[in-house]
A and B are shown apart, each in its own frame.
Chain A
Amino acid sequence: MKMIRAIVRPEKTESVAEALAQAGMPSLTKMHVFGRGRTKGIRIGDVVYDEFPKTLLLLVIEDEKLDEAISVILESAKTGTMGDGKVFVTEVEEAYTVSKGTKGL
Chain B
Amino acid sequence: MKEIMTLIRRHQVPATKKAFEDAGFPALTIQSVEGRGKQGGIGGWAAEVDPELNSVMSPDFADETRFNWIPKRLLTIVVQDDQVEEVVDVIIKTNQTGHMGDGKIFVCPLKEVIRVRTGEVGREAVV
Q: Which residues from chain A sit less than 8 Å from chain B, CB to CB?
A: 1, 3, 17, 21, 26-31, 58, 60, 90-101, 105
CB-CB under 8 A for A101 and B68, given A94-B107, A95-B104: no
B96 contacts A93, C-beta separation under 8 Å = no
Tell me whether B11 is interfacial, beta carbon within 8 Å. Answer: no
Contact of A95 among B38, B99, B101, B106 (CB under 8 A): B106
Q: Which residues from chain B sit less than 8 Å from chain A, CB to CB?
A: 2, 6-8, 31-41, 68-69, 72, 74, 84, 88, 91-92, 95-109
Contact of A28 among B35, B95, B96, B108 (CB under 8 A): B35
A1 to B88, CA, bound (A): 17
B36 cross-chain contacts in A, Cβ below 8 A:
26-28
CB-CB under 8 A for A96 and B92, given A21-B40, A30-B33: yes
Contact of B104 among A21, A90, A93, A98 (CB under 8 A): A98
**Would you mind naming 16 contact pairs between A and B with Cβ atoms under 8 Å apart?**
A26-B37, A26-B38, A27-B35, A29-B33, A31-B31, A91-B109, A92-B107, A93-B109, A95-B107, A96-B104, A98-B96, A98-B105, A99-B98, A99-B100, A101-B92, A105-B104
B2 → A minimal CB distance (Å): 7
A96 to B99, CA, bound (A): 14
B84 cross-chain contacts in A, Cβ below 8 A:
94
Of all A-B residue pairs in the complex, the 9 with the closest CB atoms, nearest first, are A29-B35, A99-B102, A98-B102, A26-B40, A96-B105, A94-B107, A98-B103, A31-B33, A98-B95
Q: Which partner residue on chain B sits nearest A17 by CB separation?
A: B68
B97 cross-chain contacts in A, Cβ below 8 A:
99
B7 cross-chain contacts in A, Cβ below 8 A:
29
B100 cross-chain contacts in A, Cβ below 8 A:
99
Contact of A26 among B6, B39, B104 (CB under 8 A): B39
B123 → A minimal CB distance (Å): 19
A97 cross-chain contacts in B, Cβ below 8 A:
102, 104
CB-CB under 8 A for A98 and B92, given A27-B36, A29-B7: yes
